[in-house]
Amino acid sequence: MREIEIHVAEHYGLKGLRETILQIAEDDQGRLRPDILENIDEFHIGGAEATSRMLDAIGLQQGARLLDVGCGIGGPARRAAQQLAARVTGLDLTEGYVALAQELSERSGAAGQTEFVQGSALEMPFEDGEFDAAMMLHVGMNIEDKPRLFAEVARVLRPGGIFVVYDVMRLGDDQPQFPVPWAATPATSFLEAPHSYRAAGMAAGLQVVKEFDRGAEAEAFLQMMRARAMEAQAAGRPPAPGIGMVMGADAPVKLANMAQAVRARVVAPIEIHFRKPGPQERLT
């Protein structure tokens, strides 16, 4: 593992996360409550709704192979297994995330359709053409070498395969205030503009199919989270389960900095769909 990848993995290696999640998500019989878990394990702007929207766009056949690059604790992978009846492989740098993702899948009844592997997105431990599609949700901000990332995704995709990227991207020259959810300092933050993603994809032989700026949805989502937190605080209740649980004690500061950057149009979550052409197709 490269030095920068070690620092990224350490950023996400929150101690006690497993115990915290199980304490909140288990019912009286020790079963996981899906309605609670989905508010925690979908660690990106828009949560489960954003994941479901992207999965609809991918539109895989039953039993198809899907790769989740930077899978975290496995929420999107489990949703894909359920929504698409796909076989999903999650890849993540953080060993603790991979172990927890596997446990949550086993306890959610998704172990037969999901598997989780610890490894680097820049050197994927998979065969050429192994997957029918791939997705990456809020991951590229931690990867400096995006050309190599796209080259690896292109390598493991079959011809005709789809790659959906949903990342926080830079809209100008400014940077957000740190810390943010993906980085405590600029040292592990590698924000790029959408044109850099498009260029990296095309250099890897992928076609750009469509692109969406999800900034408006992001602002509404972050405002909703803030309103719920303030309501709970006013009522003297603990905050409702949410993605802040995965961020540690400084989650409120990270989320506030993110919200400010989204409002100021410094960054926005951008969704880009790529496709790997078949051998007889020309790249356009």
| pLDDT tens sequence across 70-116 | 999 999 999 999 999 999 999 999 998 999 999 999 988 888 999 99
Q: Of 31-45, 79-93, 199-213, 227-241, give the lowest mean pLDDT range.
A: 227-241
Query: What's the token pair of residue 267?
Result: 């960054």
Answer CATH for 3-219+249-275 from 3.80.10.10, 3.40.50.150, 3.90.1150.10, 3.30.450.20: 3.40.50.150
Cα–Cα distance, 237 to 159 (Å, whole number): 52
- Domain extents for the chain? 3-219+249-275
Q: Which amino acid is at 128?
A: D
Q: How far, CA to CA in Å, does 65 sit from each of 14, 58, 91, 177? A: 30, 12, 13, 38
Residue holding tokens 């603790």? 96
Detail the DSSP E strand segments found in the chain. 65-69, 87-92, 114-118, 131-137, 157-170, 207-213, 267-275
Look at the pTM and tell me if it is higher than 0.75: yes
pLDDT tens by residue, 139-162: 999 999 999 999 999 999 999 999
Give mean pLDDT, residues 185-207. Answer: 97
Would the pLDDT of 170 be above 80? Answer: yes
**In contact, 244 and 44? CB cutoff 8 Å:** no
Quick one: pLDDT at residue 124? Answer: 98
Closest alpha carbon to 241 in 55, 33, 68:
33
For strands 131-137 and 207-213, give the pairing: unpaired
